[in-house]
Amino acid sequence: FSYDITSALNDWGEMNVVAVRCDNSEEPNSRWYAGCGIYRNVRLICTQESYVVYDGVYVTTPRVEEKSATVHVEARVAEGPFGEHRVVFGILDSEGRKVAEAEAEHYGLDESEMVLNDSEYVGQWSSDIELASPHRWDLDDTYLYTVVVDVYAEDKLMDSYSREFGIRTIDWNADKGFFLNGEAVKLLGVCLHHDMGCIGTAVHPRALERELMIMKEMGVNAIRTSHNPPAPQLLDLCDRMGFLVMDEAFDMWRQPKKEFDYSKYFDNWHERDLRAFIKRDRNHPCVVMWSIGNEIPEQRGEDGDGISLTGHLVEILREMDDTRYVTSGCDAVFPGNNLFRSGALDGFGINYHPQMYDSMRVWFPDKRLIGSETASSFNSRGVYYQPSSDVERLSSYDEQYQRDHANQCNGYDALCAQWGNTHEEAWKAVRDRDYIAGTFVWTGFDYLGEPTPYWWPSRSSYFGIVDLAGFPKDQYYLYQSEWTDKKVLHLFPHWNWSPGDSVDVVCYYSQADEVELLVNGKSVGRSAKTRDMLHAQWLKVPWEPGKIEAVAYRDGSPCARTVRYTAGKPVSLKLTPDRQRISSDGYDLSYVTVEAFDAEGKPVPTASDMLHFTVTGAGELFGVDNGNAADTLSLKGCNKQLFNGKALAVVRSLKGERGTAILTVSSEWGTASTGIRVR
């Protein structure tokens, strides 16, 4: 949102104080950790009397063909106390070269913008611009154009406003799913909350970029911004990195989920907030569908409020943008759902209930369908309870399970929420149905809050495919084997057990026909995944110290192998920065992985020793983590235990200081340091 503060300013030469405050005293106001205070950027924008208003440019591409495209540009311009105004639209290619230009036509005034911008006149300007040989935006070719809006008053340039956009076509077919630029694309997505682990919720582009890079490597091509408008920097990154986005507006409407949540403000604020949300995000090519809500309580009930509100919100949305599909994440999967009954949604988002996909197809044969939230599987990285084969479904906050398992969840794909499914179950249901356009797994990363199935001392979730520190759990490689063309051979669990133990061994793999397991060189047999079992497995393997090895075969010949060793006590630490050089802007980050090794150089997968972190030189310690959802030591402190052999340190540069930031990590049995160049 924005405010025009011109009329409140003191005269030149006098002091002006601009104060922006956040009152977050009413708690709880969210079902997860939303952050406290102002955690997105605040900007002071200075203009001349005539200017393009905030988020006042809207770009669409009503016609896209191979040889040419029509780019329609609309701009809202606050016209100051001058005579003639003239607005010129220019289009630049990705190299900054002007490839098209047009004089805009004035088509009226926008009274709502006059109020918001404290202006007597806000003119609406538009033009259709023909662009030859358009370069399309795609997942693997994220080409972006820039529209430049030049505002002239009496031939004097008053403002020059630029905005990136992409040219692409989308189609969502009820039978065959989603199409991007005419090609079928299964949405392989995850839901992401907006916190960034140990550095909190204050928006940080590098933290978001790292998250998306980890997701991209897994095979993710789509993001659902659950359950609120994202930071604009996330959409900028999705534009550049190649993700499709379900952009979500609300987690509740009038009916509350928590005592002090947005329902208190919905009636007075939802229309302004929804319009601002759409205006801000509608130029991003990555955004392909809008979600007007998540598991809205108004789905149920006979009063019709859900029906009328759905129609009302969709009407506002279509007025602001009619180029994308509108959906909502629904967990009331039956024909009486008020959002379904409204007839206003382009497609139905189905939260969980894969067993109802075929029924939804019968009830709504012409309606587009997507798995807007799937799985809800619980996992702790590196924790393995035997046996692995029996799937458990737990209700929220299971006290018995908490006592029995010390606030940890099974690392095998064998534990999920009562309302959810294992990862394999959820994916197979989407994979086998063309009419389900895709999936958004709950969740890509663990996040702060909602520590289901536990409560304190757990303080973050167990749903993530990747833990809070950014370390992949084993199921990461399940998705990588199913969603990418990479050669995958991931063997688990570790091989540090006790005499008499029997261990279930699992392997996710791709580009092979079968996998053989060897224990200290002796074959335990070969196993192959099937259409119903997406892994190789060997159950109740007797443990003996040494090593296990997985050998993948294709056409009868070995094509890949991987090993897990029995490790001894930890004696050394290894520090691995994700970036050896960072900027001296006081904002840039390097994420450093800390791992424990034994005397023979083998990683110790069970190490849990306490570590102490210090940073000297041109940087500072910005956060520490280990991925343990039940670790109560501060994420902003300088002490953190290893969790199953790993920990994380985040180093931030100091503004204006060039040189080297030295991270030193010490334990009772070893110390290690690494240097990060700051320029």
Which 3 state secondary structure label does DSSP give 264? helix
Secondary structure of residue 431 in the 3-state scheme: helix
- So what's the pLDDT on residue 6? 86
What pLDDT, in 10s, does the model give residues 604-634? 999 999 999 999 999 999 999 999 999 999 9
The mean pLDDT of the chain is 95
31, 251 contact by CB (below 8 A): yes
* CA angle at 323 for the pair 320 and 263, rounded to the nearest 5°: 45
DSSP string, 454-489: --TT--B-S--SB-TTSPBPTHHHHHHHHH-SS--E
Q: So what's the pLDDT on residue 83? A: 75
Q: 197 vs 83, which has greater pLDDT? A: 197
Q: Under DSSP, is residue 275 helix (H, G, I), strand (E, B) or coil? A: helix
> What does the block give as tokens for 24?
């977050």
pLDDT band at 391 (very low <50, low <70, confident <90, very high): confident
Give yes or no for a contact between 340 and 298, defined as CB atoms under 8 angstroms apart. no
Please report, rounded to a whole number, the percentage of residues in the chain having pLDDT higher than 70. 100
Give the Cα separation of 619 and 585 in Å (integer). 11
- Asked if the peptide bond before residue 457 counts as cis, ω within 30 degrees of 0, the response is yes
pLDDT at 303 over 90: no
Q: What's the pLDDT tens digit per position in 393-404?
A: 887 677 777 778
Digit-coded pLDDT (tens) for 547-569:
999 999 999 999 999 999 999 99
Q: Are 437 and 369 in contact (CB under 8 A)?
A: yes
Which residue would you say has higher pLDDT here, 6 or 588? 588
Integer-rounded Cα radius of gyration of the chain: 27
Strands 415-417 and 183-184: unpaired
For residue 143, what pLDDT is reported? 98
Model confidence over 60-115: pLDDT tens digits?
A: 999 999 999 999 999 999 998 877 899 999 999 999 999 999 999 999 999 888 88
Q: Which amino acid is at 193?
A: H
Mean pLDDT of 260-286: 97
Q: What is the pLDDT of residue 157?
A: 96
- Inter-residue contact 33 to 201 (CB < 8 Å): yes
Query: Which residue numbers are catalytic?
Result: 295, 373
Instruction: List Cα–Cα distances, 606 to 273, 431, 559, 629, in angstroms.
Output: 48, 35, 30, 16
Asked if the peptide bond before residue 256 counts as cis, ω within 30 degrees of 0, the response is no
pLDDT of residue 119: 80
Task: Decide the pairing of beta strands 557-565 and 547-554.
Answer: antiparallel
The pLDDT value given to residue 47: 93
| Pairing state between β 145-153 and 85-92 | antiparallel
pLDDT at 390 > cutoff 80: no
Predicted confidence at residue 247, as pLDDT, reads 98
Q: Which of 42, 52, 54 has the alpha carbon at shortest distance from 4?
A: 54
What pLDDT was estimated at residue 378? 96
Helix H segments across 132-287?
205-218, 232-241, 266-281
**Can you tell me the distance from the alpha carbon of 231 to that of 58, in angstroms, rounded to the nearest whole number?**
19
Q: What gap in Å lies between CA 21 and CA 1, rounded to an integer? A: 14
**Which of the pair, 109 or 661, is modelled with greater confidence?**
661
C-alpha 59/C-alpha 61 separation (Å) is: 7
Predicted local distance difference test score (pLDDT) of residue 398: 72
Q: In sequence order, what are the beta bridge partners of 246?
A: 224, 289
Residue among 377, 226, 371, 254 nearest 310 (CA): 254
Judge whether residue 3 has pLDDT over 80. Answer: yes
Judge whether residue 392 has pLDDT over 80.
Answer: yes
| Contact (CB, 8 A) for 245 and 225 | yes
The CA-based angle 141-144-148, given to 5 degrees, is 170
For every residue of 336-380, DSSP letters joined together read T-HHHHTS--SEEEEES-GGGHHHHHHHSTTSEEEEEEEE-B---
Q: In 10 A of CB 310, how many CB atoms?
A: 27
Question: Distance (Å, rounded) from C-alpha 194 to C-alpha 392?
Answer: 29
CB 637 within 8 A of CB 543: no
- Whether the per-residue pLDDT at 540 is higher than 90: the answer is yes
Percent of the chain with pLDDT over 90: 87
Q: Which of 174, 144, 65, 152 is nearest to 104 (CA)?
A: 152
5 or 484, which is more confident: 484
| Confidence grade of residue 36 (pLDDT, cut at 50, 70, 90) | confident
Residue 80: its pLDDT value, please?
81
**Which pLDDT score is estimated for 402?**
78
Please report which confidence band the pLDDT of residue 204 belongs to, taking 50, 70 and 90 as the band edges.
very high
Type of residue found at 458:
S
**What values do phi and psi take at 541, rounded to 5?**
-80, 120
Sheet holding 489-492, edge to edge: 489-492, 502-509, 536-542
| Distance, CA of 240 to chain centre | 14
First to last CA, the chain: 35
